[in-house]
């Protein structure tokens, strides 16, 4: 656990664990990340100063480095500029919703690019997103109602049934991971979660910078 994130006492979601997952003040992760980390595995060891019991996979640590987030943020800003230009600025609610969806898709695509095509979910995102968008809303409805009762019933029957059901649910959440075996699925999931965390960090930082810039139109001293 990073000392910086905790001692600052800032309002942070999941701050105990995802060391750097700070939603406000995207600057905090500057401090914790490590003086000269540019994607090195030293990032995860030198930043905390406290050895954690579970060593994190080096492939996951790349999502927490400063360099990776900076690369992602740059790509995202460029994509956002394109999003801003293409749709005409109408005032209808439909346009707003479509615009936020375009932002979300641009962010996801940039995230998939940042993964450098080594994971299934990133390849699935890049190859096409329409399926996931349509299927997701319908999936949410039956899940919360039936899953708890079914889980309790299945738990009596035996472990595999519950695990399989939950694994299927998990596979539906991660893009492109529906038919995977459990070990592969779990690997994809852990990478996906780390990537999502970085995405949230980067987008929060951009949103904060943008709102600060728009609220102070005069050139603020940096």
Partner 1 sequence: MSSRRPRSWQPSSASRITDEQINDLVSKLQAVLPEARIRRSDRVSAAKVLQETCNYIRSLHREVDDLSERLSELLASTESSSAQAAIIRSLLM
Interface residue with partner 1 among 31, 48, 99, 150 (CB under 8 A) is 99
Check residue 70 for interaction with partner 1 (CB under 8 A).
Answer: yes
Stretch that binds partner 1, among 2-10, 31-39, 40-48, 207-215 (CB under 8 A): 207-215
Q: Which of 22, 28, 112, 203 binds partner 1 (CB under 8 A)?
A: 203
How far from chain centre, in Å, is Cα 62? 13
Closer to partner 1 by CB, 23 or 119: give it.
23
Among 4, 107, 114, 115, interactor with partner 1 by CB under 8 A: 107
In this chain, which of 7, 130, 219, 221 binds partner 1, going by CB under 8 A? 219
Residues 14-53 that bind partner 1 (CB under 8 A): 14, 16-18, 21, 23
Applying CB under 8 A, among 81, 127, 131, 135 the residue interacting with partner 1 is 81
- Specify the stretch interacting with partner 1 by CB under 8 A; choose among 3-11, 31-39, 41-49, 181-189: 181-189
Write the secondary structure of the chain as one string of H (helix), E (strand) and C (coil).
CCHHHHHCCCCCCCCCCCCCCCCCCCCHHHHHCCCCCCCCCHHHHHCCCCCCCCCCCHHHHHHHCHHHHHHHHHHHHHHHHHHHHCCCCCCCHHHHHHHHHHHHHHHHHHHHHHCCCCCHHHHHHHHCCHHHHHHHHHHHCHHHHHHHHHHHHHHHHCHHHHHHHHHHHHHHHCCCCCCCCHHHHHHHHHHHHHHHHHHHHHHHHHHHHHHHHHHCCCCCCC
* 197 near partner 1 (CB under 8 A): yes
- Span interacting with partner 1, options 3-11, 31-39, 40-48, 211-219, rule CB under 8 A: 211-219
Site for partner 1 in 109-168 (CB under 8 A): 151, 155, 159-160, 162-164, 166-167
Q: Select from 3-11, 35-43, 99-107 the region that touches partner 1 (CB under 8 A).
A: 99-107
User: With respect to partner 1, which residue has the nearer C-beta, 42 or 196?
Assistant: 196
CA distance 111 to 76: 9
d(Cα 175, Cα 131) in Å, to the nearest integer? 9
């Amino acid at each position: 656990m990073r000392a910086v994130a905790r001692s600052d006492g800032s309002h942070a979601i999941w701050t105990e664990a995802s060391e750097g997952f700070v939603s406000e003040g995207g600057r905090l992760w500057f401090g914790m990340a490590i003086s000269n980390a540019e994607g090195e595995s030293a990032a995860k060891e030198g930043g905390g100063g406290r050895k954690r019991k579970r060593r994190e996979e080096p492939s996951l640590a790349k999502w927490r480095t400063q360099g990776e987030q900076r690369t992602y943020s740059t790509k995202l800003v460029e994509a956002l500029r394109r999003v801003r230009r293409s749709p005409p600025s109408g005032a209808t609610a439909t346009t707003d919703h479509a615009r936020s969806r375009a932002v979300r898709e641009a962010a996801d695509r940039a995230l998939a690019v940042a993964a450098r095509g080594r994971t299934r979910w990133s390849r699935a995102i890049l190859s096409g997103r329409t399926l996931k968008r349509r299927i997701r809303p319908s999936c949410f409805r039956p899940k919360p109602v039936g899953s708890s009762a079914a889980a309790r019933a299945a738990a009596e029957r035996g472990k595999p049934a519950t695990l399989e059901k939950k694994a299927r649910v998990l596979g539906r959440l991660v893009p492109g991971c529906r038919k995977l075996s459990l070990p592969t699925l779990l690997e994809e999931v852990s990478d996906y979660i780390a990537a999502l965390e970085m995405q949230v960090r980067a987008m929060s930082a951009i949103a904060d910078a943008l709102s600060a810039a728009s609220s102070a139109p005069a050139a603020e001293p940096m």
